[in-house]
Amino acid sequence: MKTGILLTNLGTPDAPTKPALKRYLKQFLSDECVIQPPNKLIWWLALNVAILNIRPAKSALNYAKIWNSFGEGSPLLNITNLQAKGIQEFIANDFGDLELEVGMRYGNPSIDLALEKLNFKGCEKIVVLPMYPQYSDTTTGSTRDVVNMVLKNWENTPKLVFIDDYHQNEGYIQSLANSVIEHQQKHGKPDKLMISFHGIPQRFVDNGDVYYDHCINTTKLLAEALDLNENKYQLCFQSIFGREEWLKPQTKASLESLAQSDTKHVQVICPGFSVDCLETIEEINEENRGYFMQAGGKEFSYIPALNNRQDHIKALSNIILSKIN
C-alpha cells in the first residue's frame, strides 16, 4: 500500500498586497469553523461591506514587513516546505515508497491540490498532519472538514489517518525545551518566560473546544522540562480579533502589567506555532515588544518557532512514522 503524507498549515496570501490579502482574508473569515457568528447575515454584511474593504490594506503593510525574511516570499510557506523536505529525508531511511505534499487551509498551495497530487501518484493510504500541536475546531477541525469533503468525491477513497494533535508528544516538548535552553545560553535567563498561544473566543471553549486544555497541558509539560517554578513563567493568549471575550490572560495586557510591576526582562515563546509567521515575527517580536518596552520593560526577546530544527523534524517524523507502522 503506497502511502502519502500531507502536511497542512493555516495558509498565507500570495503576495503582501491589498488584492492578495482580500482574497486570503475572504476565504479565512468565511470559514464557519473559524467564525461562528450568532447571526450569519449580519456577519456576512460586516465581512463584505466593512472588513474586506478596510482590513486588507493594513494586513498587507504588516505582511510586507516580514515578506522575504525566510527566503523569497512567504515565511510560513517557505519554512513549511523546509520542514517537508526534512521530514521526507528522515522518513526515507525507513520507507522509500512514500510521497509527501504540503497544503494550506487557506490560500495556495491548497489542500485540494495537494490531495489530488497524492491521488495521481497512486497513494492508497494518506496520513494527514495538521501543523497545530494543540487541537482546536477552528484549525485542525476545519482541516479535517476540508480533507473529508475532497475525499468523498474520489472514486477510490484512500485509507485516511488523521493526526488530531501532538500537544503532549515527548519529542515536541523536548524540542521546545531545547530551543529555550539554547536561546537563554545566548541571552541569559529572563525574569519571566511568557508562553503565548493564539487566542480563540471564550465561547468556543465553553461550547466544548479542547484547545484551552491542550494549551495548559503543553505549558505545564514545558515548564516541567525546564524545571521552572510557577513564578517564572506565564501562559497567555495573543492575536485577539473582534469585540467578544477571548481567552485570557492576553499577551499584550500581560506584558504591559509585568513591565509596570517592575519586571525588567521577559522572553516569549509561542508553542502553538510550528513555523514563524506574521503572528510571531511581526505581532510578537515587533508589536508586543513595543508594548513591553513602552510600559517600562528593559529587555525583551522572542524565542523562534521550532521551524526546521533537527530535533523538531525528528519529532514530527516520528509522529508520522507511528501512524504508518
The 10s digit of each residue's pLDDT in 111-135 is 999 999 999 999 999 999 999 999 9
Q: Which cell numbers in the block locate residue 46? A: 460586516
Provide the residue type at 212 as one letter: Y
**What confidence score (pLDDT) does residue 111 get?**
98
For Cα atoms 71, 177, 74, give the angle at the middle one, nearest 5 degrees: 15
Do 3-166+310-324 and 170-303 have matching folds? Answer: yes
CATH code, 170-303: 3.40.50.1400
Four-residue CA torsion sign, 137, 143, 146, 152: negative
Positions in the chain short of pLDDT 50? none
Q: Where are the domains of the chain?
A: 3-166+310-324, 170-303
pTM of the model: 0.95
Q: Report which secondary-structure segment, H or E, holds 315.
A: helix 310-324
Residue with cell 503576495: 15
> Domain 3-166+310-324 - what CATH class?
alpha beta
**What confidence score (pLDDT) does residue 181 get?**
98
- The DSSP symbol for 128 reads E
Comparing C-alpha atoms, which of 196, 219, 171, 167 is closest to residue 302?
196
Query: How far is the C-alpha of 43 from the C-alpha of 51, rounded, in Å?
Result: 10
Query: How far is the C-alpha of 210 from the C-alpha of 205, rounded, in Å?
Result: 7
* Residue 161 CA to its chain's centroid (Å): 20
**What confidence score (pLDDT) does residue 42 get?**
84
